[in-house]
């Protein structure tokens, strides 16, 4: 291999190893004498625990320990708690209700952990769990936010009648109300956002070890930030200095936000290792993950759009009601309802905007960010109400968007939600996407589809959303005396290909062979600090940390090179891996300088031995604003209601593409997850019993390859000046564009048939019923 440049389509170096079974996931890490953990979970959505008898389980063959709420009280382990204070609508403090590691006297959702069994193998642990006798007194349950807010609804917590956890509002309410008062048209829309779950290829899991001699805990687990999980385990649960806990994550088969939290099973496994003196491994089964992985979305959003007589947007007003589950233990449920509210503005000029979200406690698993984080819901609400406005006013949806798009000449543009878009050409994104999709020829394609017994629909959505604006990221470049290089970062790799991309950045910057670089991450002992990977932050924050650390290394190398060549530092320049004396042919290679740096006697007196530099990159105004325009085309079978995605086009602006091949792969994956939510995926709880009805892949419809058409992608790059690489986030782009584009296409087809719109997900049954209703009212012609 040789020097790799930013912008080259370098194939992921990890793929061959992972695809041939040589990865090391949580269940692969060797651990002699490791025991297996198993969680006994509540079968009830809400119940009092009257008694629990684990004596038979403790005496079962191969059982090493059974941990219950009684043992938890004696051990005195702590719980997680939110860090950011929130308030209710009344102004009172938010209702914080932490989840204990094991239920103490009440369970509050199906899957709530009740006991942790440790045995020689998984089957013995499961058998023993069946011997635990738990007497429950079932209580009324409530599983939707709307039902939980009704007067007289069952209280998830007795001391919180009404079930509100907190309320968040953003924007200018008075200015928004004034704009609505003078509007010529007001369009209203209610959007039901379905609840989904990540279903990553690798389920959650861990391998835990307590070292009695060192009084130290080590856990290998599937997490998106080793440092944040260490802080939670050490600081809040075990109440120890951070150095007494080590968290490691090597390969991980997908995260998508769901693996960002510190789950009870991690602490239970560490505690179990402490009790048994053995390593303890726990890995979730798929049905267990559907119950106990953090879930996502699940809101009702009422949206109002105010327009003048010419179709100009005056203001937008939204009210969210969202279920966050049974516990408010961390800040994670707040993220989807707070930090993304600015996305309501999207690519449009609004005079004013006001949004309010009410977080509601329900007898369900808790919610957290999922691919797109806090962005999909507000963008979906805005994009779907725009389509409804176009139908109500008799305008083309793309034309209505074009009239209201923020022009490139307005950049930097300050939005009504106090964000400033630094770069972007939203109108060009839209125009290019429409041209790519053959938007003007839709009438002919509709007619051809009709001849095949199909209804064709086309949906447009534009996107812009902040990425990379939180915290910092860490990078360290460490040369060894032989010229090898270790690159260490605080970012985590869940399958994004960071090893490939970050090596490109460093290889290009230093002009060194990428094969000489070894990339390491995911070990709180090795990596000094870091925040982790989520929210499309890695390329811009970690990539920039690599660049700034490399700049510092170059400056140190310049001093050493000047000393080696007996030249003035000001005369030495760095070019393509060499330090060159200006105007001469004298030069010294970077690896020679690195080797010289370890020879103390040959260094300038004020230069430290070694060739290592680090950087923490995270300026206050680091947020960038990737944007795009997506066009989906679908066909509906009139007889069955089945929806087929027949064409998908997208034009995205993610700034500088470090590796176009991997960048496109991220957009592909995002489109699949967005379209999967739009057409198939849905977590459903029975409203009467609180039982999870979609508890396996027989009921939770995961998308497959044959659900998709080829994706046609183009780019419209406007590099950002906010970081040295000019990059913007890409990981969320496909998802936030696909959900509204696909649903707008479905409802476009239904509207053409005189049928009412459907909500997420657009399942064949929903679509079939909508078509039958149109036929029953005489509006559905063939």
Q: Tell me the average pLDDT across 480-493.
A: 95
Average pLDDT, the chain: 96
Q: Tell me the average pLDDT across 195-217.
A: 97
**Cis preceding linkage at 269, omega within 30:** no
Calpha distance 423→727 (Å, rounded): 11
How far does CA 412 lie from the centroid of its chain? 27
Higher local confidence (pLDDT), 781 or 602: 602
Q: Give which of 145, 108, 119 is closest to 54, Cα–Cα.
A: 119
257 bridge partner residues: none
DSSP H/E element including 216: strand 216-221
Confidence of residue 779 (pLDDT cuts 50, 70, 90): low
pLDDT of 782 higher than 50: no
Calpha distance 202→249 (Å, rounded): 13
User: What local confidence, expressed as pLDDT, does residue 441 receive?
Assistant: 96
Q: Tell me the average pLDDT across 187-192.
A: 97
Q: Dmax of the chain from CA atoms?
A: 93
Confidence of residue 780 (pLDDT cuts 50, 70, 90): low
Query: Residue 61's CB: how many other CB atoms inside 10 A?
Result: 9
Give the HSE-up count for residue 747: Cα atoms under 13 Å, Cβ half-sphere.
25
Q: What is the tens place of the pLDDT at every residue in 642-672?
A: 999 999 999 999 999 999 999 999 999 999 9
Lowest mean pLDDT among 8-17, 156-165, 405-414, 516-525: 8-17
Q: State whether the Cα torsion 687-688-694-698 is positive or negative.
A: negative
pLDDT of 781 higher than 60: no
Q: What is the tens place of the pLDDT at every residue in 380-419?
A: 999 999 999 999 999 999 999 999 999 999 999 999 999 9
pLDDT of 676 higher than 70: yes
- Residue 627 DSSP one-character state: E
Calpha distance 519→681 (Å, rounded): 36
Whose tokens are 């290909």? That residue is 497
Q: What is the tens place of the pLDDT at every residue in 618-633?
A: 999 999 999 999 999 9
Query: Strand, coil or helix: what is 378?
Result: helix
CB 329 within 8 A of CB 109: no
Confidence of residue 92 (pLDDT cuts 50, 70, 90): very high
Q: Tell me the average pLDDT across 481-497.
A: 94
Read out DSSP for 173-207? HHHHHHHHHT-SEEEEEEEEEEEE----SSPPEEE
Confidence of residue 469 (pLDDT cuts 50, 70, 90): confident
Query: Strand, coil or helix: what is 229?
Result: helix
Percent of the chain with pLDDT over 70: 99
Q: What is the tens place of the pLDDT at every residue in 261-304?
A: 999 999 999 999 999 999 999 999 999 999 999 999 999 999 99
Q: What is the tens place of the pLDDT at every residue in 40-54?
A: 999 999 999 999 999
User: What local confidence, expressed as pLDDT, does residue 777 receive?
Assistant: 78
Q: Tell me the average pLDDT across 120-138.
A: 98
Q: Give which of 140, 256, 276, 142 is closest to 199, Cα–Cα.
A: 256
Cut 0.75: pTM above it: yes
Query: Residue 407's CB: how many other CB atoms inside 10 A?
Result: 11
CB 4 within 8 A of CB 503: yes
User: What local confidence, expressed as pLDDT, does residue 625 receive?
Assistant: 98
DSSP H/E element including 211: strand 205-211
Percent of the chain with pLDDT over 90: 96
User: What local confidence, expressed as pLDDT, does residue 483 receive?
Assistant: 86
CB 300 within 8 A of CB 194: no
Q: State whether the Cα torsion 364-367-370-375 is positive or negative.
A: positive
- The two structure tokens encoding residue 488: 């260490």
pLDDT of 24 higher than 50: yes
User: What local confidence, expressed as pLDDT, does residue 589 receive?
Assistant: 95
Calpha distance 760→422 (Å, rounded): 33
């Amino acid at each position: 291999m040789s020097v790799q440049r930013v912008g080259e389509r370098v194939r992921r170096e990890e793929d061959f190893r992972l695809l041939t079974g040589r990865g090391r996931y949580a269940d692969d890490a060797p651990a002699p004498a490791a025991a297996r953990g198993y969680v006994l979970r509540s079968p009830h959505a809400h119940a009092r625990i009257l008694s629990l008898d684990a004596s038979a389980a403790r005496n079962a063959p191969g059982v090493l320990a059974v941990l219950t709420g009684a043992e938890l009280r004696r051990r005195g382990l702590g719980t997680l708690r939110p860090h950011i204070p929130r308030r209710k609508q009344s102004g009172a403090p938010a209702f914080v209700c932490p989840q204990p590691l094991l239920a103490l006297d009440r369970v509050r959702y199906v899957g709530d952990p009740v006991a942790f069994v440790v045995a020689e193998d998984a089957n013995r642990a499961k058998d023993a769990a069946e011997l635990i006798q738990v007497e429950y007194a079932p209580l009324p349950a409530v599983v939707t936010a709307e039902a939980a807010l009704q007067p007289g609804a069952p209280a998830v917590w007795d001391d919180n009648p009404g079930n509100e956890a907190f309320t968040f509002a953003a924007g200018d309410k008075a200015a928004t109300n004034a704009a609505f008062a003078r509007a010529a048209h007001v369009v209203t829309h209610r959007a039901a956002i379905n609840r989904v779950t990540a279903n990553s290829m690798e389920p959650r899991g861990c391998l835990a070890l307590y070292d009695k001699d060192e009084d130290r805990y080590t856990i290998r687990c599937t997490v998106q930030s080793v440092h944040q999980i260490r802080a939670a385990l050490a600081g809040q649960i075990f109440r120890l200095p951070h150095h007494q806990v080590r968290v490691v994550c090597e390969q991980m088969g997908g995260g998508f936000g769901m693996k960002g939290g510190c789950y009870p099973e991690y602490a239970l496994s560490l505690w179990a290792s402490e009790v048994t003196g053995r390593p303890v491994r726990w890995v979730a089964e798929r049905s267990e993950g559907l119950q106990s992985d953090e879930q996502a979305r699940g809101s009702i959003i009422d949206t109002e759009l105010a327009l003048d007589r010419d179709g100009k947007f005056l203001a937008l007003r939204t009210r969210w009601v969202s279920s966050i589950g049974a516990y408010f233990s961390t800040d994670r449920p707040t993220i989807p309802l707070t930090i993304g509210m600015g996305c309501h503005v999207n690519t449009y000029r609004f005079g004013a905007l006001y949004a309010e979200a009410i977080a509601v406690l329900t007898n369900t698993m808790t919610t957290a960010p999922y691919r797109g984080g806090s962005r999909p819901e507000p963008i979906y609400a805005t994009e779907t109400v725009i389509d409804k406005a176009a139908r109500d006013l008799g305008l083309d949806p793309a034309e209505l968007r074009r009239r209201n798009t923020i022009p490139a000449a307005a950049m930097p543009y300050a939005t009504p939600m106090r964000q400033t878009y630094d770069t972007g050409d939203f109108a060009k994104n839209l125009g290019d996407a429409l041209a790519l999709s053959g938007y003007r020829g839709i009438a002919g394609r509709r007619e051809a589809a009709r001849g095949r017994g199909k209804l064709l629909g086309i949906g447009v959505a534009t996107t812009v959303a902040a990425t990379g604006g939180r915290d910092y990221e860490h990078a360290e470049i460490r040369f060894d005396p032989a010229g090898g290089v270790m690159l260490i970062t605080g970012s985590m790799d869940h399958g994004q290909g960071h090893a490939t991309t970050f090596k490109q950045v460093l290889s290009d910057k230093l002009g060194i062979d990428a094969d000489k670089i070894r990339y390491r991450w995911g070990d709180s002992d090795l990596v000094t600090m870091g925040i982790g990977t989520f929210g499309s932050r890695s390329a811009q924050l970690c990539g920039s940390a690599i660049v700034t650390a490399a700049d510092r290394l170059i400056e140190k190398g310049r001093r050493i090179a000047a000393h080696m060549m007996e030249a003035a530092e000001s005369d030495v320049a760095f070019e393509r891996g060499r330090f060159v004396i200006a105007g001469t042919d004298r030069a010294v290679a970077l690896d020679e300088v690195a080797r010289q740096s370890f020879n103390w006697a040959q260094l300038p007196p004020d230069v430290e031995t070694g060739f290592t530099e680090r950087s923490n990159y995270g300026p206050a105004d680091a947020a960038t604003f990737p944007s795009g325009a997506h066009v989906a085309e679908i066909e509906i079978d009139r007889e069955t209601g089945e929806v087929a995605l027949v064409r998908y086009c997208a034009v995205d602006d993610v700034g500088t593409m470090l590796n176009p091949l991997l960048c496109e792969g991220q957009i592909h994956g995002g489109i699949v997850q967005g379209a999967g939510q739009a057409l198939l995926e849905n977590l459903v709880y029975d409203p009467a019993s609180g039982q999870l009805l979609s508890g396996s892949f027989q009921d939770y419809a995961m998308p497959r390859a044959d659900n998709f058409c080829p994706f046609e992608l183009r780019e419209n790059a406007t590099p950002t000046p906010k970081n040295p690489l000019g990059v913007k986030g890409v990981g969320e782009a496909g998802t936030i564009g696909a959900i509204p584009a696909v649903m707008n296409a479905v409802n476009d087809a239904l509207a053409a048939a005189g049928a009412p719109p459907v909500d997420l997900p657009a399942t064949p049954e929903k679509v079939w019923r909508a078509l039958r209703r149109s036929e029953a009212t005489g509006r559905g012609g063939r």
